[in-house]
A and B are shown apart, each in its own frame.
Chain A
Amino acid sequence: MSSETGRRNLRPLSLHVPEPKFRPGDSVDFGDFDIPAAGSVMRPEIDSAPAAMTGHAYTLVRVLDDQDRAVGPWDPKLEPERLVRMLRHMALTRAFDDRMYRAQRQGKTSFYMKCTGEEATAVAAAYALDRDDMVFPSYRQQGILIARDWPLFDMMCQIYSNQGDRLKGRQMPIMYSARGANFFSISGNLATQYPQAVGFAMASAAKGDTRIAAAWCGEGSTAEGDFHSALTFASVYRAPVILNVINNQWAISSFSGFAGAEATTFAARAVGYGIAGLRVDGNDILAVYAATEWAAERARNNYGPTLIEHFTYRAEGHSTSDDPTKYRSAEENVKWPLGDPIARLKRHLIAIGAWDEDRHAAMDKDVAEEVRAAQKEAEKLGILHDGLKQPFDTMFEDVFEEMPRHLQDQRDQMAAERKAAGI
Chain B
Amino acid sequence: MTDATKTMNMIQAINSALDVMMDRDRDIVVMGEDVGYFGGVFKATEGLQARYGKTRVFDTPITECGIIGVAVGMCAYGLRPVPEIQFADYIYPALDQIVSEAARLRYRSAGEFTAPITVRSPFGGGIFGGQTHSQSPEGIFTHVAGLKTVVPSNPYDAKGLLIAAIEDNDPVIFFEPKRIYNGPFDGHYDRPVTPWSRHPTSAVPEGYYRVPLGKAAVVRPGDDVTVLAYGTMVHVAAALIADKGIDAELIDLRTLVPLDIETIVTSVKKTGRCVVVHEATKTSGFGAELSALVQEHCFHHLEAPVERVTGWDTPYPHSLEWAYFPGPVRLNEALKRVLRD
A and B associate: yes
A interface list, Cβ under 8 A from B = 134, 136, 166-168, 170-171, 175, 177-179, 184-185, 187-189, 192, 194-207, 213, 225-226, 228-230, 232-233, 236, 398-401, 404-406
Given contacts A229-B66, A399-B107, contact A406 B259 (CB under 8 A): yes
Report the bound CA distance from A199 to B214 in whole Å.
30
Q: In chain A, what residue has the closest Cβ to B116?
A: A401
Q: Are B73 and A199 in contact (CB under 8 A)?
A: yes
Q: Are B106 and A196 in contact (CB under 8 A)?
A: no
For A232, give its contact among B63, B108, B114 (CB under 8 Å).
Answer: B63
Q: Are B106 and A400 in contact (CB under 8 A)?
A: yes
Q: Are A171 and B108 in contact (CB under 8 A)?
A: yes
Q: In chain B, what residue has the closest Cβ to A188?
A: B100
Q: Flag whether B110 is at the interface (Cβ < 8 A).
A: yes
Can you spell out 23 A-B residue pairs with CB atoms less than 8 angstroms apart? Answer: A166-B112, A168-B110, A177-B109, A178-B112, A185-B108, A185-B113, A187-B104, A188-B100, A195-B69, A198-B69, A203-B73, A203-B79, A207-B79, A226-B65, A229-B65, A232-B61, A232-B66, A233-B66, A399-B146, A400-B146, A404-B214, A404-B258, A405-B259
Chain B proximity of A150: nearest CB distance (Å) = 13
Report the bound CA distance from A69 to B168 in whole Å.
57
B interface list, Cβ under 8 A from A = 29, 55-56, 60-61, 63, 65-66, 69-79, 81, 93, 96-97, 100-101, 104-114, 145-146, 148, 168-170, 214, 257-259, 261
Q: Are A233 and B76 in contact (CB under 8 A)?
A: no
Given contacts A187-B101, A192-B69, A196-B70, contact A179 B113 (CB under 8 A): yes
- Which B residues lie within 8 Å of A202 (CB)? 70, 73-74
Q: Are B148 and A400 in contact (CB under 8 A)?
A: yes
Given contacts A187-B101, A404-B258, A405-B258, contact A213 B73 (CB under 8 A): yes
- Which B residues lie within 8 Å of A185 (CB)? 105, 108-109, 112-113
Q: Are A200 and B74 in contact (CB under 8 A)?
A: yes
Report the bound CA distance from A170 to B107 in whole Å.
8
Q: In chain A, what residue has the closest Cβ to B73?
A: A199
Given contacts A232-B66, A400-B146, contact A167 B110 (CB under 8 A): yes
- Which B residues lie within 8 Å of A405 (CB)? 258-259, 261
Report the bound CA distance from A178 to B97 in whole Å.
20
Chain A proximity of B265: nearest CB distance (Å) = 11
Q: Which 5 A-B pairs have the closest CB atoms?
A: A199-B73, A195-B69, A229-B66, A199-B70, A196-B73
Q: Are B74 and A203 in contact (CB under 8 A)?
A: yes
Report the bound CA distance from A228 to B66 in whole Å.
8
Report the bound CA distance from A171 to B113 in whole Å.
14
Q: Are A233 and B70 in contact (CB under 8 A)?
A: yes
- Which B residues lie within 8 Å of A171 (CB)? 108
Q: In chain B, what residue has the closest Cβ to A400?
A: B170
Q: Are B170 and A398 in contact (CB under 8 A)?
A: no
- Which A residues lie within 8 Å of B70 (CB)? 195-196, 198-199, 202, 233
Report the bound CA distance from A279 to B214 in whole Å.
52
Report the bound CA distance from A225 to B60 in whole Å.
16
For A398, give its contact among B66, B73, B110 (CB under 8 Å).
Answer: B110
With A185-B112, A226-B66, A229-B69 already in contact, 5 other A-B pairs whose C-beta atoms are closer than 8 Å: A177-B108, A200-B76, A202-B73, A205-B55, A206-B29
- Which B residues lie within 8 Å of A168 (CB)? 110
Q: In chain A, what residue has the closest Cβ to B55?
A: A206
Report the bound CA distance from A196 to B81 in whole Å.
13
Given contacts A177-B110, A398-B107, contact A203 B78 (CB under 8 A): yes
Q: Are A401 and B106 in contact (CB under 8 A)?
A: yes
Q: In chain B, what residue has the closest Cβ to A213?
A: B73
- Which A residues lie within 8 Å of B71 (CB)? 199
Report the bound CA distance from A213 to B214 in whole Å.
36
Report the bound CA distance from A177 to B105 in whole Å.
10
Report the bound CA distance from A179 to B148 in whole Å.
25
